[in-house]
Amino acid sequence: MTYNYRFSEEAESDIYDSYLWYEKQRSGLGEEFLKELENAARAIISNPTTYRIRFKKKVRVFVVNRFPYLILYIVNGGNIDAISVFNTNQDSKKWKKRVK
């Protein structure tokens, strides 16, 4: 099956904020973060149901390599909706309110 992978507006905002933070820490680190997110997206798309359901019987979680982030996503037919790119050092309430 072919899947349509997309980020919610909130997830895009998560990515942008994280990218800026990493670039402030070290030039190029934000780009490395984006590369790991691309690798994660490829892994999720290749087999989205592999990763465990963790919340409300529909939210799956992928652990991003090298960075303390989780991609939280929902498989909905042929769509994979990434609802959050979550820094594990933050309060989980931030992403939980995005799940309807």
Q: Where are the domains of the chain?
A: 4-98
pLDDT band of 15, cuts 50, 70, 90:
very high
pLDDT of 95: 66
Q: Which residue has the higher pLDDT, 25 or 97?
A: 25
pLDDT in tens, 25-82: 999 999 999 999 999 999 999 999 999 998 889 999 999 999 999 999 999 999 999 9
Is the pLDDT at 88 greater than 80, yes or no?
yes
Q: What CATH number should be reported for the domain whose range is 4-98?
A: 3.30.2310.20
- List beta partners, residue 4: 79
